[in-house]
Amino acid sequence: MALERTLAILKPDCIEKNLQGEVLSRLQKAGFKVLSMKQVRLTKETAAAFYAVHKARPFYGALVEYMTSGPCIPVALEKENAVADFRALIGATDPKEAAEGTIRKLFAENKERNIVHGSDSPENGRIEVTFFFSESELVS
């Protein structure tokens, strides 16, 4: 199986609750390699561009608003089967539906304030990593 890249974003509620170390520790224990990470404050333009795929959805405006409400930490990750393994580790978008022991079940408040973003496909993982990181910032 080939290595895949995926993007995690530790969202504003993760930073507010000071859970970034806990979440990163869980990712590393699950075998993910951190290629790069940085703390940023997304502008409305950047958040709108990143989440443009959801533009027609009713939650789009609230999502952009929320993602610009505080700092967040994009993290480029690498592992075999990275996307599927990451999504299994974080759990369903809605923490009420997330499996026991997943990051969202343990720490998320609701569907919007759900601690972490995760790429939904290997292709989107590659695209999303390059949205936040240049190739020279990714250290294997």
pTM of the shown model: 0.95
Question: What single letter denotes the amino acid at residue 46?
Answer: T
Helix (H, G, I), strand (E, B) or coil at 75: strand
Q: Round to whole Å and give the CA distance between 62 and 125.
A: 23
User: Given 12, 14, 117, 125, which residue is catalytic?
Assistant: 117
Give tens-digit pLDDT for 47-97: 999 999 999 999 999 999 999 999 999 999 999 999 999 999 999 999 999
117 is catalytic: yes
Per-residue pLDDT tens over the stretch 94-139? 999 999 999 999 999 999 999 999 999 999 999 999 999 999 999 9
Q: Taking 80 as the threshold, does the pLDDT of residue 1 lie above it?
A: no
CA angle 46, 27, 53 (to 5 degrees): 30
- Residue 86, Cβ neighbours under 10 Å: how many? 24
Length of the chain (residues): 140
Domains of the chain as residue ranges with CATH: 3-137 (3.30.70.141)
Tokens representing 5 are: 């890249």
SS3 per residue for 25-66: HHHHHCCCEEEEECCECCCHHHHHHHCHHHCCCCCHHHHHHH
Coil/strand/helix, residue 110: coil
Query: Rounded to whole angstroms, how far apart are CA atoms 74 and 76?
Result: 7
Distance from C-alpha of 42 to C-alpha of 136, rounded to nearest angstrom: 21
